[in-house]
């Protein structure tokens, strides 16, 4: 009987089987990675906007507070995107001729709204409420990133459920005090820390002192029994992880 | 169709030693067995009969594809289901097919462990049947969901939602049970095929066929060492498949038994589902075996002995099923539970009583003819009886699923169930899938295990002195 | 013709030759212009093909509803579903735009709803409401707790009215002979004719409007009458109160408004009055007071209710004793009763079978002088009303349980029928050369013996203003698109005379104009807005420096404080000569009643109301002919037989529905169906009872013939079976039994004790939400069902899907009849999700789509659901609803505006169910947390609870022992439905207690 | 074909008896690197050429244990630590509900281990094998029995081995080259 297959067939056969297995596993793995990739989440991908609004310039450069534009962030679920009027407050005075700002002026003249592209966009079935997060002590940049360093706006986080859960399971990690002992030399400690992009969580090298009643309390760590986060969870009555990982926390 | 000469032979033999029709008609040698089986695939031309049959069932298969396309387009609302009857044909068919899928592995595994030599000639296509039946069953859990494109959520994988399946749900048990069963059956079937594929490789003349069979045979050469490991693996698989085959329908029955619905919440379900599964499984084996042995003239390998045994198995399991029905009735009464009582009253006299009484007729009364030996040894009558049983077993699932659902606890939400043409289309479609696959199988693969048939030959046995030596 | 054009677009129906395609229709019409346009359509309308096309094209049966999806292309559906599935369904979210205001309104806090007070007029009477608005979109109607006509409660019409406002089928343009005209064009073209009329003092000008009580509008009309001395103003209401005022006329010599005070009543007799049914003036207040007086905890003080009824109503279902009479026999009974009470000898004898009932009743009434109350139904004869007044007078009810005042309807003096008859006569005689029809539809709902249409066609210039291009609009030269009450300024008066302001929630969606604006133009040819007009009037009424503050306060409250009409101290003259008794109808009697969900037909195009099962027979999407079982047996007919009704030669075809508790030898039909031009939802369903209704017998007539056509006519009812099969589902007892054994409900079924578990039970530390539903209070009006639909964006599925058992209402009200079919006790049981602590649905879900929250809620996560429907199978209460097809409308923009932004819109293939209005809970919790406090009792009200006029539903925190719900659950009457299954439902019921007269109990 | 290397000497038999006795002789003669080829499984042949035990069962056991453990602990982890949530009031670790899937995983892994183990130990797939060069080897999968003493055997010597095999009941003895 003549050989049907050449010698090499042996190694080829074994290799192909092995290869097949590796291929399948690889594809599955790739799929999982793709799910979390910026291609799906847009994380770090700047959006095209009618007007190339530079947060960096307005926040870091001019030191405008978040709430000047996102007015309802402390009181409503919806942080609020500024009406054209808000832009014009300044831009009727400065850069009045900048061609870049023409769409803004046009909108103001015609009364037709500017149509921005959402940078932080949750799926429609997820209900997020800004006010409660702000009130409980979640800083803006915890989710939105260093907006003061972003030129065109993009979402820093994946905004996927697992990401939300990470924080909801350990809120202490990301809480910060509203008011800290002011240190004139250190601008980072001025104002409401929630809106402080440069806020640093307490460490031995960088202790954070907050006002408790009429005396001050200093923290040198974020988590742990002595941590600031742990303390804030207590004083802000943040509900237990079990409570805030209920499905109905976000889905209705 | 060629007339089979052996029928007379075996008939006479039947008269000589009653009940002892041989498993393999005498006169065969290693040579003849091999040639006979191989020739069915490699030498026999494609007949019009085969083409016609295949075309018909392939048409049905396409009907299913069409029905499913429309289903995905419009939604499960095109079926008759509603609230309260949330499950209809889809689940009925699923359970029915899974049930049929039991015979194969049962024959090959359990009968192998029980050293039932007669299984050798029917186990191969019974296993194939199992695979195809499970494939048909597998269609339904997927398409019956409201959003089939998300069905993969039933599998545990690290997803971006951080959410996992809910392992307390019998449906999830199903997913694991059925996919495990499918995998193991497939392995079992393929392992069994390897040596025969080698035979095909060595016998085929057409180079293409040679190559394909060669690849599938993976270079099997019948080495003694290989045989030793092969045998041990085969026995182990059989050992694993045995509890598995019993577990599958147990798990399927949990879909119902775990719920709180009167008519579903029943402890007797697991055993009587398994019995029912084997019952319908063997019925399907006969529905396939009887024409096959006739058309391919293999009455000498699938003898009346096989039919007789299969019929006896059906008779036995049929009685267990009957017992199950009785127990359902008894416990409905004995529980003293108003809802249970009503449920059963509704089965007997409700708007869907017809299904229950047909079920009793098809599954319990008619099959009693199997007590008669003449019937067991008469292929035609066996064939009809098997068909009746298959229908009966389908009705059993219909009664359990639909009549229990349509009138449950609160009369305010009672409803009716009427299947739509799409329900029927999908069901007919799976029949198409099943039989098209069978048609292809008999033409492409050894439908009888060659190497195991060889073992049935006297010349395969070692003579005492050699065996006994040292 | 909007409908045709709209549905036509992108239509994919198999074009068979025998079928008439929309395209063809449009073609044929496109050639036609002007008057010919209509004629062409009329010719078409005759042809059967056209009828067939309507069937196919207009979402009348569900096939059409669901075919909407088949019109969408495949990927779009997948898209919609995928969008719900979210990222993890391997779909990439599309980039979404975000569009800020240019100048943000300063009272607007984005993301937080605002509430405005307004009022909804229904015919003469208005109801004070609060309307929830999201970013300027009215989304939900609530009752106004301060308002005397609402007390916070609502009815089905209030709840559903918001959908009517967004109805895409509303007329969106002004048309002249079918051609679009802008408002300025309208005005300029009308000027000529107006001038002409002015010249002849408006001798040829007539105005026909619906009944109204709006002070400002009435004033405006008087202004008009001044400008045109010869002009006449007529009013027409198909469901009118002519008999009520005529009755008062008989009793007091003047038409009067009668209002009742159940809070003081102990024994109540209703002579065919359905004061517990939506649409009855004062329904909200009466229901509230009635159910408060029906608390069995009042022991002997509990109110006892006798009902003499013809057509079965949910009102009589609440009665302790019922007497089922033909409508025509009620007057005789009233006369006999008056005699028996010695009020007046007006003839009439009790029939044999009435004697027992009557004697007990008489005793009871006499024993309760001053606390007794007799009501006569709007549909009863003037004599019956007169007698009721007389009896009330004699029993000293007047001034206590009954009070009289000036009619709310300023035109009560002449009956509406009379007014319509006069107008018709005038039109026939050719006197009228310009007719203005305001928000009324006589071509459809005029009595059959008044041939309004042919008269109308004699008028030279016909102008119609209304919300829809309806039957009347079809025959008018001009159709002006009107405004919905949520789009306009105005005022109205409620049943007690209180003046309420109508303030718009949104500027006219289809740039329509209000009646007042049109009349203003006719009068002064100026274009003042309804706002200016309303304010101008009230300024004249309330001149003075404080007007601004008064106006602002009234708008804020929604009504003018203390504007209720003062009680008139009148006494019914017992010796009034009553008209000779109208002989009880011979042969089979037909009873006409307003429809429980679509009233007189004006709500026919409202999907929510169409899909709301009628309170008594649970049928929706149709108006069956109701008949008693005995009569049906005699005529050997059965439910869902198609029958032909013939009355005085007029014929209609309808479906039959057997109804327990219906008087024998009579049939009941409801008005409002059989619309031809209602819109895609309401056209062509049911039959028009107006075709049989004669002006001299508006409410009942004898000698109707019923003949089976032999056809089957399927009806849709979400509740197939109305018997309890001896199961302790609704648990009820008599007052006596209740007093003897307050815990009777628990003795009916043995429930497993709480400790009976092998496992460590979960504890709910923070909140523990629960609901208690008082079966004694519930009057089965279905308001909660509609409220739930509005709050939770519940889809409408259509008749065919309901027939298949796929209705979507999260909160259903089950009816159970108990006892003989001749005179059963009927119980209503609202069934929302039970939120079981041991939820059977959760355990069987393979994908964790339904699980428990730490507050004990049974969460349903739509976007995780893959749709195995296992949960529904395993739910013993069958409260879960499944999107078998794409039921939600993702396309129609108007409907998107209506939706509640706080609730996900469910797509195809997912399960949904009652969530205890989780969106409301969440918002309350967030507010509370931001103020560092706990949620207060009563801070969270579920939509059903807030809507219920009877306060039957109470929701709250079970961990707070002080909460109302905890108190109710502590009650002896409290029991869990199917608690024997150990599901531990959070929703529980307070058992029903009837208060029968011991004399009649035997 | 490169210059041929001797693979071994092959003897062909007609009955299993002859094969078995030949195998026993060869083993007795001290041959170890040899293999027998039969058209159906014959325990005795393997024993005769000194191949008693296989490790397939061991692998299967290992697979089973692995499957069972991973099956159970996946469920346990998911419901108690990955996302613990109250489902219908059942305890987080509802181990009775976890039994089924644990069992299924045990069977699945064991079964796969058995087959994969068998194939790998057998060195399959191996579509090319020198023995196939034997002109009449196709009969090995039909009705003939072969014994091959390989050149790699220390005791192998073309002359002697050929003689030795011819001394058995072999109907034919031939050299097979690689």
Confidence of residue C77 (pLDDT cuts 50, 70, 90): very low
Nearest chain A Cα distance for residue D23, angstroms: 23
Cα(C159)–Cα(C307) distance, rounded to whole angstroms? 28
Confidence of residue B21 (pLDDT cuts 50, 70, 90): low
Task: Sort residue B237 into left (φ over 0), alpha (ψ -120 to 50) or beta.
Answer: alpha
D96 touches chain C (CB under 8 A): no
Nearest chain B Cα distance for residue A32, angstroms: 7
Chosen from C94, C97, C111, C112 to mutate, greatest number of chain A CBs within 10 A: C111
List the single residue in B with minimal CA-CA distance to A247: B163
Chosen from B153, B155, B161 to mutate, greatest number of chain A CBs within 10 A: B161
Mark yes or no for CB contact A246/C859 under 8 Å. yes
pLDDT at C68 over 50: no
- The string of pLDDT tens digits covering residues B207-233 is 999 999 999 999 999 999 999 999 999
Q: List chain D domain ranges.
A: 6-51+131-177, 56-122
- The string of pLDDT tens digits covering residues C967-984 is 999 999 999 999 999 999
Among B2-11, B321-330, C660-669, the range scoring the smallest mean pLDDT is: B2-11
Q: Is the model more confident about B147 or about C86?
A: B147
Mark yes or no for CB contact B160/A36 under 8 Å. yes
Residues of chain D with Cβ-Cβ distance to A165 below 8 Å are 83
Identify the CA nearest to C120 among candidates C485, C482, C602, C508: C485
- Selecting from D83, D127, D132 the residue whose C-beta is nearest the C-beta of A1 gives D132
- Selecting from C92, C766, C863 the residue whose C-beta is nearest the C-beta of A125 gives C863
Mark yes or no for CB contact A1/D83 under 8 Å. no
Enumerate chain C positions whose Cβ falls within 8 A of a Cβ in A: 83-84, 86-88, 90, 92-93, 95-104, 109-112, 766, 851, 853-855, 857, 859, 861-864, 902-904, 915, 918-919, 921-922, 926, 929-930, 932
As a whole number of angstroms, the longest Cα–Cα distance in chain B is 81
Confidence of residue B40 (pLDDT cuts 50, 70, 90): confident
- For the entire predicted model, the pTM comes to 0.91
Cα(C401)–Cα(A203) distance, rounded to whole angstroms? 76
Subunits adjacent to chain A (3 or more Cβ pairs under 8 Å): B, C, D
Mark yes or no for CB contact A161/B162 under 8 Å. yes
- The string of pLDDT tens digits covering residues B121-140 is 888 889 999 999 999 999 99
Cα(C846)–Cα(C827) distance, rounded to whole angstroms? 37
Mark yes or no for CB contact C872/B84 under 8 Å. yes
Confidence of residue C671 (pLDDT cuts 50, 70, 90): very high
Look-up: residue for tokens 């969870």? A233
Mark yes or no for CB contact C915/A251 under 8 Å. no
pLDDT of residue C30: 47
Residue range C586-611: mean pLDDT, rounded:
94
What angle do the packed helices A84-91 and A102-110 form, to 10 degrees?
A: 120
- The string of pLDDT tens digits covering residues C673-711 is 999 999 999 999 999 999 999 999 999 999 999 999 999
pLDDT at C84 over 70: no
Q: pLDDT truncated to tens, each residue of chain A (252 aa)?
A: 578 888 899 999 999 999 999 999 999 999 989 888 988 888 888 888 999 999 999 998 888 989 999 999 999 999 988 999 999 999 999 888 889 999 999 999 998 888 999 888 888 899 999 999 999 999 999 999 999 999 899 999 999 999 999 999 999 999 999 887 766 565 555 578 899 888 888 888 888 888 777 788 889 999 888 899 999 999 999 999 999 999 999 998
pLDDT of residue B469: 53
Inter-residue contact B458 to B38 (CB < 8 Å): no
Q: Is the model more confident about C32 or about A155?
A: A155
Mark yes or no for CB contact B227/D24 under 8 Å. no
**Token code pair at residue C865:** 């659901």
pLDDT of residue C756: 80
- The string of pLDDT tens digits covering residues C574-587 is 566 777 776 666 78
Identify the CA nearest to D168 among candidates D36, D67, D33, D32: D36
Identify the H or E element spanning C445.
helix C442-445
Cα(C631)–Cα(C636) distance, rounded to whole angstroms? 8
pLDDT of residue B247: 92
B213 touches chain D (CB under 8 A): no
Mark yes or no for CB contact C102/A81 under 8 Å. no
Output the CA torsion sign for B258, B264, B267, B271: negative
Alpha-helical regions (H) of C514-662? 515-524, 530-541, 547-557, 607-611, 629-634
Mark yes or no for CB contact D37/B224 under 8 Å. yes
C843 touches chain B (CB under 8 A): yes
Task: Give CA torsion, residues C102, C106, C111, C115, to 10 deg.
Answer: -130
Nearest chain D Cα distance for residue B48, angstroms: 31
- Selecting from C90, C863, C922 the residue whose C-beta is nearest the C-beta of A248 gives C922
Mark yes or no for CB contact C100/A41 under 8 Å. no
Residues of chain C with Cβ-Cβ distance to D86 below 8 Å are 762, 851-854
Question: Candidates 3.30.230.10, 1.20.1630.10, 1.10.10.10, 3.30.70.330; correct CATH number of B27-146+166-457?
Answer: 1.20.1630.10
**Exposure string over C211-220, b if 16+ CB within 10 A, otherwise e:** bbbbbbbbbb
Inter-residue contact B95 to B425 (CB < 8 Å): no
**Interface subset of B 163-202, CB within 8 angstroms of D:** 163-168, 172-173, 176-177, 180, 183-184, 187-188, 191, 195, 198-199, 201-202
The pLDDT > 70 percentage for chain B reads: 94
Confidence of residue D47 (pLDDT cuts 50, 70, 90): confident
Strand extents, DSSP E, C281-410: 304-309, 321-324, 372-376, 402-405
Mark yes or no for CB contact D136/A3 under 8 Å. no
pLDDT at C82 over 50: no
List the single residue in D with minimal CA-CA distance to A165: D83
pLDDT at B305 over 80: yes
Q: Is the model more confident about A187 or about C764?
A: C764
Mark yes or no for CB contact A76/C110 under 8 Å. yes
Output the CA torsion sign for A191, A193, A198, A204: positive
Nearest chain A Cα distance for residue D28, angstroms: 30
What is chain A's percent helix, strand, coil content, to nearest 5?
A: 45, 5, 50
pLDDT of residue D50: 84
Task: Give CA torsion, residues A67, A68, A69, A75, to 10 deg.
Answer: 40
Inter-residue contact C591 to C699 (CB < 8 Å): yes
pLDDT at D126 over 80: yes
- The string of pLDDT tens digits covering residues C298-348 is 999 999 999 999 999 999 999 999 999 999 999 999 999 999 998 888 877
Residue range B68-95: mean pLDDT, rounded:
94
pLDDT at C1 over 80: no
Inter-residue contact D176 to D9 (CB < 8 Å): yes
B228 touches chain D (CB under 8 A): yes
Order across the sheet with D6-13: list the strands. D34-37, D145-150, D6-13, D172-177
> ipTM higher than 0.90?
yes
Mark yes or no for CB contact B160/A4 under 8 Å. no
Q: Is the model more confident about A183 or about C255?
A: C255
- Selecting from C761, C842, C854 the residue whose C-beta is nearest the C-beta of D88 gives C842
- Selecting from D51, D79, D107 the residue whose C-beta is nearest the C-beta of B167 gives D79
Mark yes or no for CB contact C88/A237 under 8 Å. no
List the single residue in D with minimal CA-CA distance to A2: D133
pLDDT of residue C51: 47
Average pLDDT, chain C: 88
Look-up: residue for tokens 């019925």? B283
Task: Sort residue C238 into left (φ over 0), alpha (ψ -120 to 50) or beta.
Answer: alpha
In chain B the first and final C-alpha atoms are separated, in Å, by: 53
How many residues make up chain B in this entry?
470
- The string of pLDDT tens digits covering residues A71-106 is 999 999 999 889 999 999 999 998 888 899 999 999
Task: Give CA torsion, residues C951, C956, C959, C960, to 10 deg.
Answer: -70
Among B72-76, B176-180, B353-357, D166-170, the range scoring the smallest mean pLDDT is: D166-170
Look-up: residue for tokens 């994908």? C847
- The string of pLDDT tens digits covering residues C854-895 is 999 999 999 999 999 999 999 999 999 999 999 999 888 888
Enumerate chain C positions whose Cβ falls within 8 A of a Cβ in D: 759-762, 836-843, 848, 851-854, 984
The pLDDT > 90 percentage for chain C reads: 77
**Token code pair at residue A147:** 């907006």
pLDDT at C3 over 60: no
pLDDT of residue C526: 87
Look-up: residue for tokens 């967004």? C166
Nearest chain C Cα distance for residue D91, angstroms: 7
pLDDT of residue B301: 85
**Token code pair at residue C672:** 């409002």
Residue range B107-116: mean pLDDT, rounded:
83
pLDDT of residue C811: 96
Residue range B333-349: mean pLDDT, rounded:
92
CA distances from D156 to B301, C483, C870, D8, D146 (A): 44, 109, 70, 9, 17
Cα(C197)–Cα(C207) distance, rounded to whole angstroms? 13
pLDDT of residue C62: 32
D89 touches chain C (CB under 8 A): yes
């Amino acid at each position: 009987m003549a050989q049907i297959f050449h010698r090499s067939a042996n190694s080829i056969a074994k290799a192909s089987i092995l290869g097949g297995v590796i291929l399948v596993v690889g594809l599955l793995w790739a799929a999982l990675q793709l799910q979390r990739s910026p291609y799906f989440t847009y994380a770090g991908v700047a959006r095209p906007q009618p007007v190339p609004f530079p947060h960096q310039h307005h926040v870091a450069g001019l030191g405008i507070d978040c709430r000047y534009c996102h007015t309802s962030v402390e009181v409503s679920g919806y942080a609020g995107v500024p009406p054209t009027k808000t832009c014009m407050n300044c831009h009727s005075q400065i850069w009045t001729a900048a061609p870049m700002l023409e769409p803004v002026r046009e909108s103001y003249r015609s009364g037709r709204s500017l149509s921005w592209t959402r940078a932080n966009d949750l799926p429609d079935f997820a209900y997020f409420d800004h006010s409660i997060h702000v009130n409980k002590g979640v800083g803006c940049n915890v989710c939105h990133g260093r907006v003061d360093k972003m030129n065109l706006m993009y979402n820093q986080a994946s905004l996927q459920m697992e990401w939300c859960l990470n924080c909801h399971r350990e809120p202490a990690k990301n809480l910060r005090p509203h008011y800290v002992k002011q240190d004139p030399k250190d601008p980072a400690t001025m104002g409401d820390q929630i809106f402080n992009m440069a806020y640093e969580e307490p460490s031995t090298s960088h202790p954070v002192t907050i006002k408790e009643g009429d005396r001050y309390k200093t923290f040198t760590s974020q988590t742990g029994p002595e941590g600031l986060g742990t303390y804030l969870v207590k004083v802000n009555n943040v509900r237990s992880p079990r409570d805030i990982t209920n499905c109905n926390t976000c889905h209705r | 169709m060629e007339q089979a000469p052996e029928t007379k032979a075996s008939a006479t033999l039947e008269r000589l030693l009653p009940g002892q029709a041989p498993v393999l008609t005498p006169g065969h040698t290693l040579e003849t067995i091999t040639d006979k089986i191989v020739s069915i695939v490699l030498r026999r031309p494609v007949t019009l009969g085969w083409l016609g049959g295949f075309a018909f069932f392939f048409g049905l298969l396409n009907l299913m594809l069409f029905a499913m396309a429309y289903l995905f387009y419009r939604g499960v609302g095109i079926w008759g289901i509603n609230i309260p009857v949330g499950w209809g044909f889809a689940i009925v068919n699923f359970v029915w097919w899974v049930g049929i899928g039991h015979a194969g592995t049962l024959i090959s595994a359990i009968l192998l462990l029980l050293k039932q030599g007669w299984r050798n000639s029917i186990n191969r296509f019974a296993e194939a049947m199992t695979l195809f039946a499970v494939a048909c069953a597998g269609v339904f859990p997927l398409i019956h969901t409201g959003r089939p494109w998300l069905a993969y959520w039933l599998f545990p994988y690290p997803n971006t939602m951080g959410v996992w399946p809910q392992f307390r749900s019998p449906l999830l048990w199903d997913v694991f049970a059925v996919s495990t069963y499918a995998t193991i059956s497939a392995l079992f079937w393929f392992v069994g095929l390897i040596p025969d594929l080698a035979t095909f490789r060595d016998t085929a003349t057409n180079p293409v066929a040679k190559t394909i069979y060669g690849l599938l045979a993976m270079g099997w050469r019948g080495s003694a060492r290989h045989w030793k490991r092969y045998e041990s693996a085969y026995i182990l698989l059989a050992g694993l498949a045995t509890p598995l085959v019993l577990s599958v329908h147990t798990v399927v029955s949990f879909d119902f038994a775990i719920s709180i619905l009167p008519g579903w919440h029943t402890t007797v379900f697991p055993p009587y589902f398994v019995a029912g599964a084997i019952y319908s499984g063997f019925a399907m084996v006969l529905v396939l075996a009887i024409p096959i042995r006739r058309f391919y003239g293999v009455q000498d390998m699938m003898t009346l002995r096989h039919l007789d045994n299969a019929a006896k198995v059906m008779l036995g399991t049929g009685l267990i099923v009957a017992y199950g029905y009785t127990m359902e009735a008894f416990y409905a009464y004995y529980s003293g539970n108003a809802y249970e009582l009503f449920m059963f009253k509704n089965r007997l006299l409700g708007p869907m009583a017809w299904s229950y009484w047909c079920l009793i007729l098809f599954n319990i009364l008619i099959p009693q003819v199997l007590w008669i030996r003449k019937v067991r040894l008469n292929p035609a009558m066996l064939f009809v009886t098997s068909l009746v049983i298959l229908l009966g077993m389908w009705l059993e699932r219909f009664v359990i699923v639909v009549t229990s659902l349509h009138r449950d606890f609160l009369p305010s939400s009672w409803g009716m169930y009427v299947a739509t043409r799409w329900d029927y289309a999908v069901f007919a479609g799976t029949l198409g899938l099943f039989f098209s696959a069978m048609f292809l199988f008999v033409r492409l693969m050894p439908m009888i295990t060659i190497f195991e048939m060889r073992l049935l030959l006297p010349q395969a046995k070692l003579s005492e002195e050699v065996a006994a030596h040292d | 013709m909007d409908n045709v054009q709209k549905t036509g677009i992108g239509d994919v129906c198999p074009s068979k030759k025998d079928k008439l395609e929309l395209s063809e229709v449009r073609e044929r019409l496109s050639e036609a212009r002007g008057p010919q346009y209509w004629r062409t359509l009329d010719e078409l309308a005759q042809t059967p093909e056209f009828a067939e096309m309507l069937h196919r094209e207009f979402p009348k049966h569900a096939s059409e509803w669901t075919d909407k999806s088949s019109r969408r292309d495949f990927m779009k559906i997948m898209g919609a579903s995928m969008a719900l599935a979210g990222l993890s369904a391997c779909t990439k979210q599309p980039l979404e735009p975000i569009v800020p205001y240019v100048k943000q309104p300063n009272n607007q806090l984005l993301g937080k709803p605002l509430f405005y007070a307004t009022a909804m007029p229904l015919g003469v009477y208005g109801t004070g409401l609060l309307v929830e608005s999201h970013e300027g979109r009215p989304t939900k109607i609530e009752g106004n707790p301060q308002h005397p006509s609402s007390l916070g409660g609502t009815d089905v019409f209030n709840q559903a009215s918001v959908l009517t406002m967004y109805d895409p089928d509303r007329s969106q343009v002004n048309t002249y002979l079918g051609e679009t005209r802008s408002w300025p064009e309208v005005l300029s073209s009308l000027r000529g004719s107006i001038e002409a009329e002015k010249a002849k003092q408006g001798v040829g000008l007539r105005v026909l409007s619906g009944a109204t009580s709006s002070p400002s509008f009435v004033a405006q009309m008087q202004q008009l009458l001044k400008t045109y001395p010869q002009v006449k103003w007529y009013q027409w209401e198909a469901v009118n109160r002519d008999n009520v005022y005529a009755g008062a006329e008989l009793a007091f010599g003047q038409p009067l408004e009668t209002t009742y005070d159940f809070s003081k009543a102990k024994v109540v007799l209703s002579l065919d009055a359905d004061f517990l049914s939506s649409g009855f003036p004062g329904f909200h207040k009466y229901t509230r007071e009635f159910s408060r007086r029906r608390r069995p905890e009042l022991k002997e003080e509990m109110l006892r209710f006798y009902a003499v009824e013809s057509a079965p109503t949910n009102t009589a279902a609440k009665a302790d004793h019922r007497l089922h009479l033909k409508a025509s026999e009620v007057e005789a009974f009233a006369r006999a009763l008056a005699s028996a009470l010695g009020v007046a000898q007006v003839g009439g004898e009790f029939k044999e079978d009435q004697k027992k009932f009557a004697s007990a009743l008489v005793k009871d009434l006499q024993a309760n002088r001053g606390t007794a109350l007799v009501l006569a139904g709007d549909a009863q004869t003037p004599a019956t009303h007169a007698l009721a007044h007389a009896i009330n007078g004699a029993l000293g009810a007047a001034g206590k349980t009954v009070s009289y005042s000036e009619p709310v309807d300023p035109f009560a003096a002449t009956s509406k029928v009379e007014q319509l008859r006069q107008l018709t006569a005038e039109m026939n005689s050719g006197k009228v050369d310009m007719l203005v029809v305001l928000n009324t539809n006589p071509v459809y709902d005029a009595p059959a013996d008044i041939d309004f249409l042919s008269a109308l066609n004699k008028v030279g210039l016909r102008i119609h203003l209304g919300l829809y291009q309806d039957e009347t609009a079809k025959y008018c030269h001009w159709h002006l698109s009107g405004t919905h009450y949520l789009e306009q300024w105005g005022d109205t008066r409620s049943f007690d005379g209180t003046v309420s302001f109508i303030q718009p929630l949104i500027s006219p969606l289809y740039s329509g104009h209000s009646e007042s604006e049109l009349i203003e133009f006719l009068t002064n040819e100026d274009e003042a807005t309804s706002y200016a007009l309303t304010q101008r009037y009230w300024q004249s009424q309330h001149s003075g420096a404080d007007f601004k503050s008064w106006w602002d306060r009234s708008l804020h409250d929604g009504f003018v404080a203390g504007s209720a009409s003062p009680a008139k101290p009148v006494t019914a003259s017992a010796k009034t000569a009553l008209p000779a008794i109208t002989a009880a109808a011979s042969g089979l009697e037909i009873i006409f009643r307003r429809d429980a969900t679509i009233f007189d037909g004006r709500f026919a195009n409202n999907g929510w109301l169409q899909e709301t099962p009628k309170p008594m027979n649970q049928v929706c999407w149709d108006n069956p002919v109701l008949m008693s079982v005995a009569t049906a047996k005699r005529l050997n007919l059965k439910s869902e037989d198609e029958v032909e009704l013939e009355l005085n030669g007029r014929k209609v075809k309808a479906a039959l529905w057997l109804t327990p508790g219906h008087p024998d030898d009579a049939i009941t039909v409801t008005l409002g169906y059989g619309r031809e031009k209602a819109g895609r939802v309401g056209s062509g369903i049911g039959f028009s009872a107006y075709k049989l209704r004669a002006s001299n017998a508006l409410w009942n007539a004898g000698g109707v013939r019923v003949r089976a056509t032999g056809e089957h006519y399927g009806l849709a009812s979400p509740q197939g079976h109305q018997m309890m099969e001896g199961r302790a589902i609704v648990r009820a007892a008599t007052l006596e039994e209740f007093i003897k054994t307050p815990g009777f409900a628990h003795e009916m079924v043995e429930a497993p004790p709480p400790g009976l578990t092998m496992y460590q039970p979960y504890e709910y530390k923070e909140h523990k939400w629960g609901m208690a539903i008082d079966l004694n209070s519930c009057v089965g009006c279905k308001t909660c069902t509609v409220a739930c639909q509005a709050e939770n964006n519940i889809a409408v599925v259509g008749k065919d899907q309901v027939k298949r058992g796929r209705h979507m209402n999260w909160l259903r009200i089950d009816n159970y009849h108990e006892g003989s079919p001749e005179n059963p006790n009927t119980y209503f049981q609202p069934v929302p999700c039970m939120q079981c602590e041991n939820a059977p649905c959760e355990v069987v879900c393979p994908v964790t789509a339904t699980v428990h929250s730490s507050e004990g809620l049974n969460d349903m996560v739509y976007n995780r659901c893959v749709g195995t429907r296992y949960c529904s199978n395993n739910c013993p209460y069958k409260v879960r609803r499944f999107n078998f097809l794409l039921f939600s409308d993702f396309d129609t923009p108007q409907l998107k505006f209506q939706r509640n932004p706080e609730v996900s819109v469910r797509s195809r293939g997912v399960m949904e169910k009652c969530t205890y209005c989780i969106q409301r809970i969440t918002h309350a919790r967030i507010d509370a947390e931001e103020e560092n406090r706990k949620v207060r009792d009563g801070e969270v009200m579920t939509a059903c609870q807030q809507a219920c006029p009877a306060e039957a539903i109470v929701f709250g925190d079970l961990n707070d022992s002080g909460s109302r719900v905890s108190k109710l659950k502590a009650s002896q009457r409290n029991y869990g439905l199917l608690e024997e299954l150990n599901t531990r439902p959070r929703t529980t019921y307070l058992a029903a207690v009837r208060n029968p007269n011991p004399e009649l109990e035997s | 074909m490169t210059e041929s290397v001797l693979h071994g000497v092959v003897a062909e038999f007609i009955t299993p008896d002859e094969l078995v006795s030949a195998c026993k002789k060869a083993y007795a003669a001290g041959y170890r690197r040899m293999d027998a080829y039969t058209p159906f499984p014959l325990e005795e042949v393997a024993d005769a050429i000194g191949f008693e035990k296989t490790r397939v069962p061991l692998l299967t056991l290992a697979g089973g244990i692995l499957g069972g453990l991973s099956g159970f602990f996946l469920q346990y982890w998911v419901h108690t630590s990955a996302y613990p949530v109250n489902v219908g009031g059942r305890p987080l670790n509802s181990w009775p509900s976890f039994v089924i899937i644990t069992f299924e995983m045990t069977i699945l892994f064991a079964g796969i281990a058995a087959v994969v183990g068998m194939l790998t130990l057998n060195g399959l797939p191996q579509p090319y094998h020198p023995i196939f060069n034997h002109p009449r080897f196709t009969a090995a999968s039909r009705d003939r029995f072969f014994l091959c003493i390989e050149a790699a055997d220390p005791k192998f010597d073309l002359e002697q081995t050929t003689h030795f095999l011819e001394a058995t009941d072999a109907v034919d003895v031939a050299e097979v080259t690689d």
